[in-house]
Structure 1
Amino acid sequence: MGERDPVEARSQGGRDLYDVATWEPRSALDRLALKVYGAALAVGKWFVVLLALVFTALIGVFGALTDPIIGAFTVLSVIPALALAGYVYYADITSGEPLWLLTATFVLSIFFASFAAIINSVFGGLQLLGPVGFVLFFYLVVGPVEESVKLLAVRLYAYRDDRFDAVIDGAVYGAVAGLGFAFVENAIYINRGLEMSPGGGPETQLATAGGTAALRALAGPGHVVYSAFAGYYLGLAKFNPENAGPIVAKGLLIAAFIHATYNTLVSVVPSVAVAAFDAVPQFVVFFVFVLIYQGFFGYLLYRKIARYRNAYREVRTEAERKDGDIGVETTEFDS
């Protein structure tokens, strides 16, 4: 229970303290205030979505995706990320998540990726400071910003729905948000690669797009892993409202750290390894590094989901085991 005003605390419920130390909607003005507040929240939510849509158009995402070459290779490049998001979805031992909520989260994450693109561009000058600047850019800008906008895609819509009724649902929607972010990021990289090599015929374009798509296919699953971690803690926060802020912050710190560390190491490890072992192709080193790094944190995500699944099985009654689901009680946060 939250803090109480001293007048309310000492009255012990014996006095009507409406509009003195307590409040509930009684008058017409009170009800109007509730409606104004609700309308402000709705307008604010749709304003954010509209702003993201405008930014998405400005950075050329829609134009890139309508190009048949870019569109096709973008779809191919997210297949590994899609497989990983699919695993998280099927690992949800509670009631399944509706397709329309998953789709909305995916689309919102595509739009909100534009926020990260713009902020990254604004602070990109940090990279001019050399190695220290790169580290600062990854840890203070890229990691926190990208993980925040992916979590926003979950928080703005799916999180508020009644079907978001278990902690593990946060991991599911977080994974889908990561998939959407990877989708739009891959499209931007493939488009940029084609723009940087405009010469040559269709064969050259296909080779360029295919090479970029292959690299992005390795990096894409990372977005799913990072945001699934952050999403899990968002789900934990929903059912622990008294500590919701710190719980969400913990999830974002974990996701941002894993993300920034990947970006930092992937910029260094392959080059150092190739310099030390010049007979090994850089792509092989990159592939092995990504496999080990993302595999390790993917395993930690698997462990976290497995703990929830085991706990879910242990608390079910015999009747619930036969029925296959646990009824979810309405929490104080929901009300």
Structure 2
Amino acid sequence: MSQFTLSWQEAGTTRSRSFDLTQPIYKTMYALRLGRDAEQCDVVFDDPSVSRLHAEIRWHPTTEQFSIENLRDINPIAVDGRLLSQGTQMIRSGTLIVLGDTTIQVTQPQQDFVINTFQPPVLETPTPVEARVQPVRSPVSSVTFSHYLPLAGTSRELRQQGYLLPGVITVIWVVLMFSSLGRPGVFNLLLAVYLGFAGFYLIYKLCQKRKPGWVLLIPMLMTPILLLTPVWGAIAFFFRVILPGRIPDNDEIGFIPLFISFFFGAGLAEELLKAIPIFVLAWLGRVGTPALRQRLGVAEPLDGIIFGAASGLGFTLLETLGQYIPDLIQSVAMRADPGAAQLIGLQLLIPRIVGSVFGHMAYSGYFGYYIGLSELKPRRRWQFLATGYLIASGIHAFWNSSSALGNWALGLAGIVAYCLLIGAILKARQLSPNVSPKPL
């Protein structure tokens, strides 16, 4: 018997749907897909803890039995109290399935219940069966505590949908910035870190792949540490002394010579340094356990983009706060009031950190896409790595040398860099087995 019914609670209302998997109206023959994405699933849930494509119930005509398969090993389901992260398990009438925070009960009609299975030919594929049914209005007298205090009924969604942490961090940072008034160095540090993390958070959310916070700190901290070690000195010597990458003192030499200098001295040199943490994490993922590879390694392009952007953020913060801002403040203070020097330093800090979204984070994130692609398709590893390295270095050099052409070239370089990054993110989501390619 291929008919069954699913029942669950949603928004305080009991939902129920009946299905016959022998009918050719579902995404896959003899199968029913469950999740949050209406384009991929036959039954759609609003629960944010449910994956976009989470599980599949399949009918086996030969044995006349149903089975359920978890399609997201990083988000296990529970079948009659037993966790199922991979593989399939047989289900029957009365089985309880838990997807995220949603509990679903499976029921089947009695064996003597006769159903006319004849159906006319289906000319069009009906739209997916969604769980979004308007709930029955509660009586006026049915008033709960959450009506008076909405937070009491939405605290779980507040945490799961990512609204809580950014807001709390912003409040804490504002308090810290208030307490740092009169101390320009501390204020600049707090402002730069907040703006930098806000830009990185944008890229991270666009990728739609979760990574533990401590893992993201590895490339963020490793890159500035490498900048302070002989590793950077050796890289800079090779590209800026042996190769024609000496950074000129001014941009009056013309665009082409300036571009060549920045291509070797800034593009190739700095993108290589920022990629070192990504290569290290990729190596740790290859030699570690599958669980370690999932959390720490570079298994796909999305991993490379996230780690590359984190590395670019670390580079930007150290370069801005450790070199550009102090040098500018010291230079202006020799000719003007120290307060004016601090103001000019702040005017440089804000666009440099905000611009890192299409600057250092974009360059290294774009190169990270190719590093992840080389892990996903190792047969063409060197082709992917060379392509990503040269493009990232080229757009980096174009940005640095565009001042010789004018502000229009500066804007064009930023737009191109941002578009390259977004294109890489969208393509990486298409290639990812864990993330829906559906646009935000």
> 1:210 and 2:324 equivalent?
no
Return the match for 2:270 from 132, 146, 150. 146
Q: CA deviation at 1:77?
A: 4.0
| Cα deviation, residue 291, structure 1 | 4.7
- Residue 72 and residue 291 in structure 1: after superposition, are their counterparts in 2 closer, same or farther (change >3 A)? farther
**CA 1:118–1:311: 2 relative to 1, 3 Å:** closer
- The residue that corresponds to 1:42 in the other structure is none
CA distance in 2, matches of 1:211, 1:121: 29
CA offset digits 1:151-184 (Å, max 9, x no partner): 0122224652312233211000001111111111
Counterpart-to-counterpart distance in 1, 2:225 and 2:340: 30
Taking structure 1 as reference, are residues 267 and 111 closer, same or farther at Cα in structure 2, changes over 3 Å only?
farther
**1:183 corresponds to which residue?**
317
Give percent identity, aligned residues only: 23
The aligned counterpart of 1:127 is: 248
Q: Secondary structure at the match of 1:127?
A: coil
**Contact 1:124/1:137 (<8 A) preserved:** yes
Aligned with 2:429: secondary structure?
A: helix
Q: What 5-or-longer segments of structure 2 have no aligned partner?
A: 1-182, 286-292
Residue deviations 1:107-132, cap 9 Å, x none?
Answer: 11112234179547757656379335
Q: Give the number of the structure whose alpha-carbon radius of gyration is greater.
A: 2
Query: Separation in 2 of the partners of 1:306 and 1:69?
Result: 40
* Native 8 Å contact 2:247 2:262 kept in 1: no
Question: 1:296 corresponds to which residue?
Answer: 416
What is the CA–CA distance in structure 2 between the aligned matches of 1:84 and 1:158, rounded to whole Å? 24
Q: Map 1:1-335 onto structure 2 (within 5 A).
A: 69-77=184-192, 79-94=194-209, 96-114=210-228, 115=232, 118-119=236-237, 122=241, 125=246, 127=248, 130-131=253-254, 132-157=256-281, 160-161=284-285, 162=293, 163=295, 164=297, 165-187=299-321, 188-199=323-334, 201-221=337-357, 222-270=359-407, 290-312=410-432
| Deviation string, structure 1 residues 158-211 (Cα, Å, up to 9, x no partner) | 652312233211000001111111111111100111221234555223213212
Partner SS, residue 156 of structure 1: helix
Q: Which whole-Å CA distance do the structure 2 matches of 1:167 and 1:307 have between them? A: 9
Q: Return the alpha-carbon distance in structure 1 between the equivalents of residues 396 and 340 of structure 2.
A: 32
Offset of residue 90 of structure 1: 1.8
**1-structure distance, mates of 2:245, 2:429:** 41
Contact 2:223-2:314 at 8 Å conserved across structures: yes
State the partner residue of 1:59.
Answer: none
Q: Is the 8 A contact 1:101 1:158 kept in 2?
A: no
Q: Which has the higher strand share?
A: 2
2:330 and 2:341 in contact (8 A); partners too: no
In the alignment, is the contact (CA less than 8 A) between 2:271 and 2:392 conserved in 1?
Answer: yes
Instruction: Report if the CA contact (8 A) 1:74-1:213 is conserved.
Output: no
Deviations 1:90-113 (A, max 9, x none): 23344x212112101101111223
Change (3 A) 1:103 1:92: same
Q: How far apart in 2 are the matches of 1:158 and 1:76? A: 32
The DSSP-based 3-state class of the residue aligned with 2:278 is helix
Moved more, 112-121 or 252-261: 112-121
Q: CA RMSD in A?
A: 3.1
Structure 1 distance, partners of 2:195, 2:403, is: 19
Larger % of helix: which? 1
Higher relative contact order (CA 8 A, sep 6+): 1
Amino acid at match of 2:415: G
Partners of 2:351 and 2:257 in 1: CA distance: 24
Match for 1:130: what amino acid? I
1:266 Cα shift? 2.8
Counterpart of 1:308, as a letter, is: A
TM-score, length-scaled by structure 1: 0.60
The answer to whether the Cα contact below 8 Å between 2:329 and 2:342 also exists between their aligned partners in 1 is no
**What is the SS of the residue equivalent to 1:197?**
helix
User: d(CA) in 2 for partners of 1:293 and 1:81?
Assistant: 20
| TM-score, with structure 2 as normaliser | 0.47
Distance 1:193 1:267 in 2: 21
